Chain A
Amino acid sequence: MDLSYSPEDIAFRDEVRAFLAEKLPKDTAEKIRNGEELGKEGQERWHALLNEKGWLAPNWPKEFGGAEWNAVQRHIFEEECAFANAPRIVPFGLSMLAPVLQKFGSKAQCDHYLPRILDGTDWWCQGYSEPGAGSDLASLKTRAVREGDHYIVNGQKTWTTLGQYADWIFCLVRTDPDAKQQEGISFLLIDMATPGVEVRPIILLDGTHEVNEVWFTDVKVPVENLVGEENKGWTYAKYLLTHERTNIAGVGASAAGLDAVKRMARAEMSGGKPLMQNPQFAARIAQVEIDLMAMSTTNLRIISKAAVGQAPGVEASMLKVKGTIIRQEINDLARRAAGPYAMPFASEMVEGDNDPIGPDYAGPVAAQYFNYRKLSIFGGSNEIQRGIIAKVKMGG
């Protein structure tokens, strides 16, 4: 047992810090810090800078152009990025689709799609959920019917994150309506520019346009866009879902968030003293910090057990549940810390008037508190994760 970083780890951390200091665009970091939407260009700029450095795909094997970092390195990178207010890389192509293609896709698919994910040619989004199929994903209804060299797709996906920017969507579709639910599903890659694909915005409760409905009306998809075998999509989807969960603990984001709360609490005055010295608030912060210290080690324990390119099992569910509880608690603390200045709706400010209304840290915190309620809903809700833990541990 050794809890300290090795000299190589420390050298790596310094390298990451230097890179972030030099390359992370200041305006990008500023936007992330203020909880502003980065937009497509902002995301693409950071994506390109990481790709140039060869750091875009920490989880990919080297043969596909990945960094193949070990668990500690990934942890360090995640943490440093969070502290520097680097944007989170949009995961759909890089960490969701790519592992599936690498394991189940054809050589032609890997050769075509993977480089385009790295160089940013294709922006991917995830078409799993439907209005009637959320937690019960296998009940999905979007139909794909084979007609010659094409599938004809009809149906609707929803909650499609950043679908408004996407060039491609990977979808779960029903190819055999007569088979048992899980056995009639296929994994299909669809070009968003195909006639019959329509994207409609959904505005979230904090006023952001982050998710969409995606409608398919007689959309013609070439059969070579099928990943793996027909009606085996559920297996691939489950594989992908475990990958979706690997980074879900969000330890880096929590650490950075807690740091920000402390800064706020030192600046805010309550009863003539900094809020940080208020025993109740200090206790709230300490409580979360204690949880996070343990969580950080749990995270390292779990991810270092899993080999590169592999996802942990039931422990991933544990990380997700505890990790999101901690992150949401930190968001709650930030909202509290801001006091009355949490009330203004910063993103709705008069155009051209960019001065913060209260202290600059207060602007985004309440909106973020609401937005981050999503953390315990998506990627397999915390209830579903608890169900998985219980089922696995009780041998079900």
Chain B
Amino acid sequence: MNFDLTEERQMLQDTLRRFLKDRYTTENRNKIIESEAGFSADIWTGLAELGVIGALFGEDHGGFGGAGFDIAVVFEELGRAGVVEPFLDTAILGGGLIAALGTDDQQAMVEQVIGGGLHLAFAHGEPTSRYDLSRVQTTAKAEDDGIVLNGRKAVVANAEAAGHLIVSARESGAADDEAGISLFLVPAEAKGLTLRGYPMLSGGRAAEVTLDDVRLPTSARLGAAGDAFGAIATQVAAANVALAAETLGAMETATELTRDYLMTRKQFGRPIGTFQALAHRFSDLLIELEQARSAVINAAGHLDTADRDRQIASARNLIGRAGRLVAEESIQMHGGIAMTQEYELAHIAKRIVMNDHRFGDTDYHLERFIALSAA
């Protein structure tokens, strides 16, 4: 057993932390969040040049990482700095799906993603699918020589910036069947594709996507017809590792800010951290933080194993609970200052809590864990 990072990953962590510490200040980030694009193209290119995106792909796809621990290292750092740039959507989900299923031609896009030149979005969830991964009612019908897509996709992160949307659609089967789901590469300029964009509460942008007779050539299909569910589940598993790690990083920042504040804020003539009522609760946060760290290690370490899904459900349930505690208690122990947009913790707390709304919340993952443990 060895819980140390490899030398490469340690270097990646150090470089990333330094870059973000210099460039991703609270003030800069607040500007980025309020900007029209919702993210910074400069930061994106800068991080791509550092190799951050390459670290998320395996060598056979032009990257130099791609394992669970690579994802965890990168996203923990992104989480620490409260980064809103869409690495999850463009790289893990979009790029990951193309890498897993793409033809040689389609794989060219992965190279572009790694270089920082292409954005992607995964248009999968629908207005009534909530967190159910196999519930797809958008349809794909063969017509003439091509395919016609119709349907609606909900809260598609990064849709507006994406050069291509990776859209899931049903070619056969009932609304909840795993079989019968295909993926399609839909170019942003496709006719019949409409986006209604909006900012998200914890930064970044998303859109409601309408597909109204979107016509595609069959070469737009990613992987075999009706057979995409396995790849979707695998990439969503990777996304869950990323989200868990990102939340962990944000929890680290929240507890660090809280520690500093408890030591410096004075009321009644003494630092508030000397009140035992707060000191004990702060200690509880640190205990939960270490639990969360182990949960991320468990999930990342099992990403390529048979026990993947149970480990991931367990990690996201634990981090959902611990994250909420850290966010709420950090705010509470700060008092009014934490309620202000200007203060670092406000954004960090939002990241922590709102991550619980992507790819399953605490309750969803508990149910998954129960079901998978019984199996």
Contact = CB atoms under 8 A, between A and B. Distances in A.
Given A358-B154, A383-B277, A202 B340 contact: yes
Given A129-B336, A203-B340, A377-B335, A269 B201 contact: no
Contacts of B148: none
B201 A345 contact: yes
B86 to A, nearest CB: 13
Given A135-B268, A373-B331, A280 B366 contact: yes
Contacts of A215: none
A341 B155 contact: yes
Given A343-B201, A344-B201, A373-B331, 5 more contacts: A206-B201, A345-B201, A358-B127, A367-B201, A370-B201
Contacts of A335: 353
* Residue of B342, B347, B366 with highest tally of chain A CB at under 10 A: B342
Interface in A132-152: 132, 134-136, 139
B349 interface: yes
A376 B362 CA distance: 24
Interface in A193-248: 202-207
B191 to A, nearest CB: 23
A343 B335 contact: no
B358 interface: yes
B147 to A, nearest CB: 26
B226 interface: no
B196 interface: yes
Nearest to B127: A358
Interface residues of B, number: 51
A358 B130 CA distance: 11
A204 B201 contact: no
Contacts of A386: 277
A350 interface: yes
B51 interface: no
Interface string B186-207: 0000000000101111100010
Given A268-B130, A340-B154, A370-B350, A357 B198 contact: yes
A382 interface: yes
Contacts of B328: 328, 373
A281 B339 CA distance: 28
The 3 closest A-B pairs by CB, nearest first: A205-B346, A136-B267, A345-B201
Interface in B245-278: 266-269, 275, 277-278
Given A343-B201, A343-B357, A134 B350 contact: no
B54 to A, nearest CB: 28
A67 to B, nearest CB: 33
B283 to A, nearest CB: 16
Interface of A: 129, 132, 134-136, 139, 158-159, 202-207, 268-272, 275, 278, 280-281, 284, 328, 332, 335-336, 338-345, 348-350, 357-358, 366-367, 369-370, 373-374, 376-378, 381-383, 386-387
10 contacts: A159-B336, A269-B128, A270-B131, A272-B135, A272-B176, A280-B363, A341-B155, A348-B198, A377-B332, A377-B336
Contacts of B154: 340-341, 358
A350 B198 contact: yes
B206 A343 contact: yes
B373 interface: no
Given A345-B199, A349-B198, A205 B357 contact: no
Contacts of A202: 340
Nearest to A271: B132
Interface in B337-373: 338-342, 346-347, 349-350, 353-354, 356-358, 361-364, 366-367
A259 to B, nearest CB: 21
B208 interface: yes
B180 interface: no
Contact of B198 (A270, A271, A344, A382): A344
B332 A280 contact: no
* Residue of B176, B277, B347 with highest tally of chain A CB at under 10 A: B277
B125 interface: yes
A339 B361 contact: yes
B155 A358 contact: yes
B131 A135 contact: no
A381 B335 contact: yes
A370 B267 contact: no
A266 to B, nearest CB: 14
Contacts of B176: 272
A206 B353 CA distance: 13
B357 A342 contact: yes
A376 B332 contact: yes
Contacts of A136: 267-269
B161 to A, nearest CB: 17
A163 to B, nearest CB: 14
Nearest to A206: B201
Contacts of B346: 205
Contact of B267 (A139, A275, A338, A378): A139
Contacts of B268: 135-136, 139
B198 A377 contact: no
A205 B155 contact: no
Contacts of A134: 267, 335-336
A275 B362 CA distance: 14
Interface string B312-346: 00000000000010001001100110111110001
